[in-house]
Chain A
Amino acid sequence: MKKGIFLKILVMFLAVAFLAGFSTVAVAKKIKVGGLMDTTGATSDVGKDYAIGMADAFKYINSQGGVNGKKIKYIWFDYGYRIPEAITKYKMLKRLGNIAIMGWGTGDTEALSPTVNKDKLPYVSASYSAHLTDPKKTPYNLFFSSDYSTNARSAITAWFDKKWPKHKDFGKRKPRFACCYMFASPYGSAPIKAIKDQAKLLGFEIGPDQDVSLFAIDTKSQVMALKKFKPDVVWHGNTTMSVAATVRDAYALGLGADWIINNWGFDENLPRLAGKAAEGVMGATPCAFFGQNYKNMDLVVSSAEQYSPGVPKGKRLIRTVQAWGDALVLWEAMKRADKKGVDLTKKGCGPGIMKEGFETMRNFDIGLGAAPISYTATDHRPATGCLIQEWKGGKFQTVEAVDLKKRWPKLWATKWLGW
């Protein structure tokens, strides 16, 4: 009898001790996610806000219980937009056991793509290069936004639909189109083939490209060269600072063309830097500007206040919202994969995150003014079009929401994937 009591107490004691020990271990297990950001390099004018926004988003995600109760340990590094450093940091993040990476630029994302695919590590980038959307070639590259080629095709289409019919020469001649971008920049050059293809499709006359450095603050020679061609609309594929410089010089020199800008050159800083010259500038906006009235924007704004109180709210940009877009799709993919039994705390879970997570999304709504997001095993283009807005009368206003798939379903399905 006494022996029985003793044994019962001992078993209870050991059970409590075991459970206590086990729960400590369980709590300590975190899902590791790494980040490669540019806060000091050639794209830091847009990269810093993105990096801060990404850190905010993961803090918010953890405050909501992380991935079905499992917290995320998010570690990020600045790689200064240097491709060799991105490769080194990627290898380090992999060695540290990160199961997904939040990446940045087109040059490094495309350079890392073969390694990422060999490692089977989901890589959610801020590069929206269409080269990363064909799972046959880049099965582990992802992003939430419409790709650059979709942005570019949508922007020129919106201008053609809404601006060209109001032009005095409409119906008399072909509209004239030219491109400005940094030739050596993989980001700048990524959508050029697509936008020229779209220009031909719509019947434009295409002029010579102008090489504008990402660091340019004086672009008068490029503007003078453009003046010889007399374009009606010019695509600018750089980031905000050099876009502002070009738009300012064009205004001062009386170029007289409209501007359509890729998403990384079109943000809240553009009117601040370009002043009056920014009036009427149009751009691709794959999500809403910071603080605009859209679903889930309240979370972005309140998290910015709560988690980055050192950065004034007035300095936050659409880049924060873009970071949230990428964080939210990874979060959703991880939640779905976890529910299907994929162990996200272990290396090698990448294929599970893709198959049970990302590639199960069909018209997934993250809010934030982004298009509904779908990924399939054969197509990683998240969105089928892009909202084009313009800076007018002191605020951003909608020009047109272009849906390329609806408009050109055959070309979308058979011709435009992956470039």
Chain B
Amino acid sequence: MKKKLVLMTVLIFGLSVALISCVTMQVKPTEKNFIAPKVTLESFMVPQYDGYWYFSSKVKPTKGDAGNRGAALPMSFLFNVENKNPYPILLDGMVFTVVFDKEFSLVTYNNQDEYWIPAGKTDQVRATTLITARSALLSLMVTGGFKLKAKGWSPWKALETWWKGVPEGITPVDITECSFSFSANGVSRVFPYEIKAQ
């Protein structure tokens, strides 16, 4: 009986060691063999649309407090992330800037959620961001004020055009300054991407 127990223990231990060896026998991730995953945009959508409107803080609302407030414009990007490596990789961060009309940066999105992508498989990751006519106005004024002036556009005209054009698929939307970061077994790599949303 005791002999059986001893044998079983040794067997379990041996099997565990063998299993661990099998795992470590797989291709080990290194800086050199880490292949850049392929990131493409599966779809872009405005998941909820509330039109274009803006109220200044001088306007008394029916309920709640007055303030400078504008219509929200949520934007949802669904990415395909193809892991071409022979080992699983962890997507552990993404950052990108959404640009309207080729040159106006409206929002920089970042996310540090973690997703494991199996070897050789394609996973999908959704990034949803939301801007309001108020936040876009402020961002536009400090980062695109001179560009607007050069084009002879007023910020209000630009906002209205975009709030109507983005959901309709008319306004060009690009993803710039984009990078996705990945890691596998202690190796971390960040890769840049440029993606046209519409």
| Contact between A273 and B112, CB atoms less than 8 A apart | no
The contact string, 1 if C-beta is below 8 Å from chain A, for chain B 83-112, is 000000000010111000000011110101
A310 interfacial contact with B, CB 8 Å: yes
Name the B residues within 8 Å of A39 (CB-CB).
107-108, 110
Q: How large is the interface on B (under 10, 10 to 19, 20 to 34, 35 or more residues)?
A: 35 or more
Which secondary structure characterizes the binding site on chain A? helix
Query: B142: which of A45, A75, A306 is its contact (CB, 8 Å)?
Result: A45
Find chain B residues with CB under 8 A from A48 CB.
Answer: 97, 105, 108, 143
Separation of A175 and B118 alpha carbons in the complex (Å): 70
Kindly list chain B residues whose C-beta atoms are within 8 Å of the C-beta of A311: 177, 179
Which of B9, B93, B97 is in CB contact (< 8 Å) with A6?
B9
B3 near A308: Cβ-Cβ < 8 Å? no
A241 contact set on B, CB distance < 8 A: 141-143, 145-146
Name the A residues within 8 Å of B138 (CB-CB). Answer: 40-42, 44, 80-81, 215
The residue of chain A having its C-beta at the shortest distance from the C-beta of B98 within the complex is A40
| Known A-B contacts A6-B2, A9-B6, A80-B135; A44 and B190 likewise in contact (beta carbons under 8 Å) | no
A311 and B177 CA atoms in complex are apart in Å by: 5
Residues of B within 8 A of A52 (CB): 95, 108
Q: How far is the CA of A306 from the CA of B190 in the complex (A)?
A: 7
Q: Give CA–CA (A52, B3) in the complex, Å.
A: 63
CA distance A133 to B178 in the complex (A): 37
Is B112 in contact with A75, judged by CB distance below 8 angstroms? yes
> Given known contacts A39-B108, A75-B112, A217-B146, is B13 in contact with A9 (CB within 8 Å)?
yes
Asked if A309 is an interface residue, CB under 8 A from chain B, the answer is yes
Q: Are A40 and B107 in contact (CB under 8 A)?
A: yes
Residues on the A chain within 8 Å of B105, using CB: 48
* Contact (A217, B149) CB under 8 Å given A307-B190, A309-B190, A310-B96: yes
Which of the residues A12, A73, A215 comes within 8 Å of B145, measured between beta carbons? A215
A315 to chain B, nearest CB (A): 8
Contacts of A5 in B (CB 8 A): 6
Residue of B nearest to A307 (CB): B190
Whether B181 is near chain A, meaning CB under 8 Å from some CB there, is: yes
Please state if B96 and A239 are interface contacts (CB–CB under 8 Å). Answer: no
Give bound CA distance, A51 to B181, whole Å: 16
Q: Bound state CA distance, A97 and B178, in angstroms? A: 29
Are B143 and A41 within 8 A (Cβ)? no
- Out of B10, B178, B181, which one reaches A9, CB within 8 Å? B10
Taken together as a complex, chains A and B put the C-alpha atoms of A52 and B12 apart, in Å, by 49
Distance between B53 CB and nearest chain A CB, rounded to angstroms? 19
Give the Cβ gap from A175 to chain B, nearest Cβ, in Å.
Answer: 32
Closest chain B residue to A312 by CB distance? Answer: B177
Interface membership of A10, Cβ < 8 A: yes
Contact of A10 with B177 in the complex, beta carbons under 8 Å: no
Write out, one digit per residue, whether chain A residues 268-285 have a CB within 8 A of any chain B CB (1) or not (0): 000001000000000000
B192 interfacial by beta-carbon distance below 8 Å: yes
- A76 vs B192: C-alpha distance in the bound complex, in angstroms? 20
Across the interface, which residues of B come within 8 angstroms of A310, CB to CB? 95-96, 176-179, 192-194
A42 to B146, Cβ gap below 8 A? no
B188 adjacent to chain A (CB < 8 Å): yes
Q: Within B121-145, which residues are at the interface with A (CB < 8 Å)?
A: 131, 135-136, 138-139, 141-143, 145
A55 within 8 A of B: yes
CB <8 Å contact, B2 and A2: yes
CA distance A299 to B123 in the complex (A): 33
Assess whether A233 is interfacial by the CB under 8 Å rule.
Answer: no
Nearest CB of chain B from residue A235's CB, rounded to whole Å: 20
**B25 contacts across to A, CB distance below 8 A:** none
Task: Pull 22 A–B residue pairs with CB atoms less than 8 Å apart, ordered by A.
Answer: A2-B2, A2-B3, A6-B2, A9-B13, A12-B13, A13-B13, A39-B107, A40-B108, A41-B135, A52-B108, A55-B93, A55-B95, A59-B190, A73-B112, A80-B138, A217-B149, A239-B142, A245-B146, A307-B190, A309-B191, A310-B176, A310-B194
Task: Across the A-B interface, give the 3 residue pairs with the lowest CB-CB distance, nearest first.
Answer: A215-B141, A39-B108, A310-B192
Known: A40-B106, A40-B138, A308-B95. 17 other contacts (CB 8 A): A2-B2, A6-B2, A9-B10, A39-B110, A40-B108, A82-B135, A215-B145, A217-B145, A217-B146, A217-B149, A241-B141, A244-B146, A306-B190, A307-B190, A309-B179, A310-B96, A310-B179
> Which A residues contact B (CB, under 8 angstroms)?
2-3, 5-6, 9-10, 12-13, 16, 39-45, 48, 51-52, 55, 59, 63, 73-76, 78, 80-82, 214-215, 217, 239, 241-242, 244-245, 273, 306-311, 315
